[in-house]
Amino acid sequence: MTENSTYLDADFNLDTQDGSEGFEILPRGQYPAFIESATLKYLKSGRGQAVELVWVIESGRFANRKIWQNVIIQHDSERALDIGRRMFKDVCCSCGLTGNVRNLTELHNHVCMVSIVVEEDRDGQYAPKNVVKRVRKITKPDNSNGNGSTFKPVGEAAKKVAAKAAPAPQPFPFNDDVKDV
């Protein structure tokens, strides 16, 4: 059958079917992660807008796990607006962006260090959840960079640094003084 329908072809017995296991909460800590998607959304309250970020843990025991983060960029509360815009700047700078940002796809695939905490519902109505509290650029020790710094960027940032440091290709030197013999 190729038509869409609101009815199943056979009964689905909920009493005999096992459900999927839930994800365990990531322990509080710092994880290398990249942004898989960034989307501008209106807040349900109608009081502003947020950028919804989907972070993917890059490596380790929790590799490929996703964490969702909403970062407020417009709000009628000055405090919420200030907190959100500071976080958005941290995210953008950690991804190596500078100047003005409009295209959210520029945030995709840059590995950053995210600090994740476990947030408990005060009323106990909802299960604990992971929350991104801080985002920083990843650097790693390297004493060979020759600029006095002991840190070296990795990931996308390393590619940009390497591109800037590489000498420009030189044209083949021609010597007009050479004559055929």
In eight-state DSSP terms, residue 65 is -
92 neighbors 72 (Cβ within 8 angstroms): no
CA separation for the pair 131, 118 (Å, rounded):
6
Residue 62: inside a domain = yes
Q: 37-79 pLDDT, tens per residue?
A: 999 999 999 999 999 999 999 999 999 999 999 999 999 999 9
58 neighbors 83 (Cβ within 8 angstroms): no
Residue 100: inside a domain = yes
Residue 36: inside a domain = yes
* Least confident stretch, 47-61, 107-121, 166-180: 166-180
Residue 179: inside a domain = no
Residue 155: inside a domain = no
**pLDDT-based confidence at residue 18 (cuts at 50, 70, 90):** confident
Residue 73: inside a domain = yes
Number of domains forming the structure of the chain? 1
25 neighbors 129 (Cβ within 8 angstroms): yes
**pLDDT-based confidence at residue 100 (cuts at 50, 70, 90):** very high
Give CA separation, 111 vs 14, 37, 181, in Å.
41, 13, 59
Domain that holds residue 93: 29-137
Residue 113: inside a domain = yes
Residue 172's Cα: distance from chain center in Å? 43
Give CA separation, 42 vs 39, 45, 86, in Å.
10, 8, 19
**pLDDT-based confidence at residue 11 (cuts at 50, 70, 90):** confident
- Edge-to-edge order in the sheet of strand 48-57: 66-75, 48-57, 29-42, 111-119, 129-137
More confident residue, 147 or 171: 171
Tell if the pTM clears 0.75, that is, is over it.
no
Residue 176: inside a domain = no
Domain at 36, CATH number: 2.40.50
Helices (H), 13-166: 78-94, 155-165
